[in-house]
Amino acid sequence: MHNLQEFQSGVIYNWINCIKKLLNPQDIILVDGSENQTSGFKEEAIKKNILIKLNEDLLPNCYLHRSNPNDVARVESKTFICSDTKQDAGPTNNWWNPKEALSKLINISKNSYKNRIMYIIPFCMGQIESKFAKLGIEITDSLYVVLSMLTMAKVNKKVIKKLKELEEIHENSDEFGLSGTASWTRCIHASCNTDPDNRYICHFPQNNMIFSVNSNYGGNALLGKKCLALRLASVMGKNEGWLAEHMLIMGIQRPGTQGIKYICASFPSGCGKTNFAMMALPEIYTKNGYKIWCVGDDIAWLRIGKNGGLWAANPENGCFGVCADTDKITNPNALVTARENTIFTNVVHDKTRNTVWWTGLDAPPDDATDWQGLPWSAKNSQTRGEHPNSRFTAPITNCPCLSAEYNNPEGVQISAIIFGGKRSELMPLIFQTSDWIHGVFMGSALRSETTPATDGKTGILRNDPFSMLPFCGYNIADYFQHWLDMGRTLGEKAPKIFNINLFKRDKNNEFIWPGFGENIRILDWILDRLESKVDGKKSVIGLLPDINNINIQELNISKKNLESLLEIDEKLWNQELNNIQNYYNKLGENVPEELINQLEILKSKIKIN
């Protein structure tokens, strides 16, 4: 075995050998995160046409990668929760009997590493010193996955050491070592031939194991991210009394407010988390001393801290952010984040300058290839050059407004939680829920339009409770209960819960709210509410801002438009109630009584029935 001396014997060594027997690689390499080894991987990836090295002067240590055109987003239809019973997975997940799933996965992946290298990536999600960190080992045959994991997770000698210290019993009783469980997550990834018909992303919560075949893309293949840090972690959170959430974490510093206030916001995939988490403020705000600090842009682990409050930490080490439409007005901080040590996936290649380009950046290149590597020019082409789900993979430490608390093993204490979906009508720009239970009700009722982050049609309105529809690893109705239980434990210390909608459209189908950096105006109201500086206006769905309490100074929006963003259309809400009712019916008998009560209260408030 190649450089596996770190694991000379024991549970991990045995497991690796079992998987080796199944996948039959030509050689094995332990990924240790060292600079030397990493640059060797990059050279190898360039040689194999997996990466294109970009202009070192303009984009130092940056690379372009193109995926198989059939493999460009998460595939929810091929994502499975293989828990012991279908009831454990619940009504919103695809369930697969673990034994049957495993036998299919074994069949597909058997000998698929032939003439290939098996990379062993020991990784840590979260700060390694933190008692909340979760360790895993991902086995993969994809250098793109190796290099992406090196950015998105912590991979270094300390992780290897910690894994070795983990004493435990993990029975490798079956032929391929796929049974039993461990306190670290066993992640197996096989590229196979990226056949979409045989693509499966399977989670085994009872075995602390993930097995993914036939996709090399993002959330399907970087198994520390959505698979571990959300799907499996949500199950761990349920068992251990914490929450794994699809949320950004950010700090807001403003004049007149003591210290920095931290908030979490949960928006579905492709609905603005990265933009929001590192928003660049309008000049009148920066001039007045406002600052935004990014702690995380996609995933938050929330725990009850020693002081009884809710604390959030970002388990990730990097950003896997959307490129398309990211520009210097909407998100200049993302552009700076992706200026070095970055892998770009499925964007335009500017051949003259040997850089990358996407819609939103300055003048399009003349001599270019599109995301599939075909000749492309903005002038002569009807279609965009980049894929709508094109992404940058960059270390979060590149972010110019990274919070000093990012590394804090305890995380940051959260004062407010925001839920938000992409809704062209109905949902107001912002409102505050009356209490935790009402907030949980609104989270459970969240609906949003689908985006390119997941395969299938975009713009389809669907229920996406807590933005976790594709990421909750167990019965979503039990997950609602877990949220209620957390609130009960938090009591008075519970953060306030708000709802926002940045995507309401006018009659011409244009977004009404300017969004992006101007979203600070919403945060300002939230902080005003937290500090009791302004009153909210009672409405059937919660507390709305008085129109005069949203600062629209130097903002190109009329009072009338702002009013339309804050109006409550009871007719539409009546339809929404029907949707919530039908959705709860679909979710079945586990939906908590307290939420059904909330629905009844709302029904009674809305006059048209």
Catalytic residues: 271
Member of 366, 375, 511, 586 binding ligand GTP (CB under 6 A): 511
- Closest C-alpha among 551, 609, 550, 546 to residue 577: 609
- Closest C-alpha among 330, 314, 340 to residue 152: 314
Residue 269 beta carbon to Mn ion: minimum distance, rounded to whole angstroms: 5
Residue 519: which of ligand GTP, Mn ion, ligand SPV, none does it interact with, CB under 5 to 8 A by kind?
A: ligand GTP
Decide whether 216 or 369 has the Cβ nearer to ligand SPV: 216
Region binding ligand SPV by CB under 6 A among candidate stretches 137-145, 203-211, 217-225, 250-258? 217-225
Is residue 323 within 8 A of residue 335, CB to CB? The reply is no
Decide whether 185 or 269 has the Cβ nearer to ligand SPV: 269
If one asks whether residue 76 binds ligand GTP (CB under 6 A), the answer comes out as: no
Q: How many CB atoms lie within 10 A of CB 162?
A: 16
Decide whether 184 or 320 has the Cβ nearer to ligand SPV: 320
If one asks whether residue 226 binds ligand SPV (CB under 6 A), the answer comes out as: yes
If one asks whether residue 348 binds ligand GTP (CB under 6 A), the answer comes out as: no
Member of 25, 33, 122, 219 binding ligand SPV (CB under 6 A): 219
Q: Which helix (H) or strand (E) holds 418?
A: strand 412-420
Edge to edge, the sheet with strand 79-81 lists 27-30, 117-125, 134-140, 185-190, 209-213, 200-204, 79-81, 94-95
Region binding ligand SPV by CB under 6 A among candidate stretches 218-226, 237-245, 301-309, 488-496? 218-226
Decide whether 219 or 545 has the Cβ nearer to ligand SPV: 219
Is residue 254 within 8 A of residue 281, CB to CB? The reply is no
Residue 269 beta carbon to ligand GTP: minimum distance, rounded to whole angstroms: 4
Give the bridge partners for 125, in sequence order: 134
If one asks whether residue 598 binds ligand SPV (CB under 6 A), the answer comes out as: no
Edge to edge, the sheet with strand 52-53 lists 52-53, 63-65, 343-345, 391-395, 318-322
| DSSP codes joined into one string, 53-85 | E--TTTSTT-EEE---TT-SSB-GGGEEE--SS
Member of 330, 372, 539, 590 binding ligand GTP (CB under 6 A): 330
Residue 225: which of ligand SPV, Mn ion, ligand GTP, none does it interact with, CB under 5 to 8 A by kind?
A: ligand SPV
Report the C-alpha gap between 417 and 498 in whole angstroms.
Answer: 6
List the x/- string, 448-467, binding to ligand SPV by CB under 6 A: -----x--------------
Decide whether 274 or 499 has the Cβ nearer to Mn ion: 274
List the x/- string, 272-311, binding to Mn ion by CB under 5 A: --------------------------x-------------
Count of residues interacting with Mn ion (CB under 5 A): 2
Residue 516: which of ligand GTP, ligand SPV, Mn ion, none does it interact with, CB under 5 to 8 A by kind?
A: ligand GTP
Q: Which two tokens mark 184?
A: 């670290």
Residue 267: which of ligand GTP, Mn ion, ligand SPV, none does it interact with, CB under 5 to 8 A by kind?
A: ligand GTP
Measured CA distances, 492 to 10, 92, 349, 377 (Å): 47, 32, 53, 58
Where are the strands (E) in 291-390, listed by range?
A: 291-296, 300-304, 310-313, 318-322, 343-345, 348-350, 355-357, 368-369, 375-376
- Closest C-alpha among 471, 488, 501 to residue 435: 488
Report the C-alpha gap between 543 and 498 in whole angstroms.
Answer: 9
Decide whether 73 or 437 has the Cβ nearer to ligand GTP: 73
Write down the residue that tokens 């055109």 correspond to. Answer: 69
Decide whether 113 or 503 has the Cβ nearer to ligand GTP: 503
Helix axes 476-490, 233-240, angle to 10 degrees: 50
Member of 320, 358, 573, 583 binding ligand SPV (CB under 6 A): 320
Nearest 5°: the CA angle 505, 360, 217 is 90
CA end-to-end distance (rounded Å), the chain: 70
Q: How many CB atoms lie within 10 A of CB 285?
A: 24
If one asks whether residue 428 binds ligand SPV (CB under 6 A), the answer comes out as: no
Residue 184: which of ligand GTP, ligand SPV, Mn ion, none does it interact with, CB under 5 to 8 A by kind?
A: none
Q: Which two tokens mark 315?
A: 């388990």
Residue 274: which of Mn ion, ligand SPV, ligand GTP, none does it interact with, CB under 5 to 8 A by kind?
A: ligand GTP
Region binding ligand GTP by CB under 6 A among candidate stretches 43-51, 112-120, 269-277, 425-433? 269-277
- What residues line the site for ligand SPV (CB under 6 A)? 74, 218-219, 225-226, 269, 298, 320, 453
Site residues for Mn ion per CB under 5 A: 269, 298
